[in-house]
Amino acid sequence: MTGNDLGEFLRAHRSRLRPDDVGLVSYRARRVAGLRREEVAVLAGMNSDYYARLEQGRERSPSPQILDALSGALRMDDAAREHLYRLAGTALETRRVPRETVSGPVRHLLDAHAGVPAFVLNPAKDVIALNALAEALFSPFEDVGNLARMTFLDPAAPAFFPRWDRFAESIVAGLRHAAGLDPEYPRLREVVRSLRGESDAFAALWSSHTVYGKTQDATELRHPDVGPLALVSQSFDVRGAAGQMLVVYQPEPGSPSAHALDLLGELVLHANGLEDVGRAGGAPRAQADRFVGIVERERHRRAADRP
């Protein structure tokens, strides 16, 4: 980098524009490529001498308002505008409106993770998409619409989350983190407002102002059909979808939790098979007995393992 990167960046963008690109009319021959400094100053609504000092490196601390005006006058795209702010040493404040639906490729990615529960959250902890195994995993809950409401309001939560206190704290900390990034996001404000009124536990945790984002964490769950699950929760930002986070629950390979997830996946397959047969004219008794038998055998096995 040179000593006047900001000025050189402005000069380069100015040289790429012609008067007719920005709605100006030129009446005489031009000795410079692109726009004149005075023309950029007019377009940006600032003093031409001030703009000259910016290009010459004699002014190095433009305000965000000045930078916004210049990026507009020089027709910068988002990437160029962000770079302009970096060169000026100024934080770029942008508000990215979260997307509330997943794209086709993300939907395919969820379904491709058939062996592990995978789902997508928005910043308000709404579950906006999930694969079949995640749907089966969360089957004890009455409504799988919002992970925060599931945690604090559903009667199934204390049994499903053996370390409920820790999980609840992580949920609230994540909401706090999201609120810091976008305090004006309507859905997030709605979820927080409703939970503060409906759950004393949520209100107390929210008042603690704990904040952190979660990328990887150990998660302990207990499903009524397959028993305890020790999983690693990994979270990934969805590229190109503002605010969306892909969450994947993975067991240690070959562990009891891995076998339990395999069983849950088998139950999903059999349930879907029975549903398809039922739509075609009724499920045969043998298929129904096998489906119920899988669950019963697993319950007996876990009971026998208990001391």
pLDDT in tens, the chain (307 residues): 457 889 999 998 888 888 777 777 665 666 666 888 988 998 889 999 999 999 999 988 898 889 988 988 898 877 788 888 888 888 766 556 677 788 888 899 998 888 899 999 999 999 999 999 999 999 999 999 999 999 999 999 999 999 999 999 999 999 988 887 777 889 999 999 999 999 999 999 998 887 665 556 889 999 999 999 999 999 998 877 778 999 999 999 999 999 999 999 888 777 665 444 344 444 334 434 444 444 455 445 545 555 5
Indicate if the alpha-carbon torsion angle 233, 237, 239, 244 is positive or negative. Answer: positive
Phi, psi angles (nearest 5°) of residue 155:
-60, -20
List Cα–Cα distances, 270 to 128, 277, 286, in angstroms: 25, 10, 12
Displacement of CA 1 from its chain's centroid (Å): 34
pLDDT in the model for residue 285: 41
pTM for the model stands at 0.62
Supply 6's token pair: 């900001």
pLDDT in the model for residue 303: 53
pLDDT in the model for residue 75: 86
Phi, psi angles (nearest 5°) of residue 33:
-75, 135
What SS3 string covers the chain?
CCCCHHHHHHHHHHHHCCHHHCCCCCCCCCCCCCCCHHHHHHHHCCCHHHHHHHHHCCCCCCCHHHHHHHHHHCCCCHHHHHHHHHHHCCCCCCCCCCCCCCCHHHHHHHHHCCCCCEEEECCCCEEEEECHHHHHHCCCCCCCCEHHHHHHHCCCHHHHCCCHHHHHHHHHHHHHHHHHHCCCCHHHHHHHHHHHHHCHHHHHHHHCCCCCCCCEEEEEEEECCCEEEEEEEEEEECCCCCCCEEEEEEECCCCHHHHHHHHHHHHHHHHHHHHHHHHHCCCCHHHHHHHHHHHHHHHHHHHHHCC
**What residue has token string 């562990």?**
255
Strands 245-251 and 118-121: antiparallel
pLDDT in the model for residue 97: 65
Residue type present at position 276 = D
For residues 81 and 71, what is the distance between their CA atoms, to the nearest angstrom? 6
Q: For residue 161, which of 216, 115, 223 has the smallest C-alpha distance?
A: 223
pLDDT in the model for residue 282: 42
Q: Which residues contact 27 (CB under 8 A, 6 or more apart)?
A: none
Displacement of CA 127 from its chain's centroid (Å): 11
pLDDT in the model for residue 137: 96
Sheet architecture: strand order including 118-121 = 127-130, 118-121, 245-251, 227-237, 216-223
pLDDT in the model for residue 96: 60
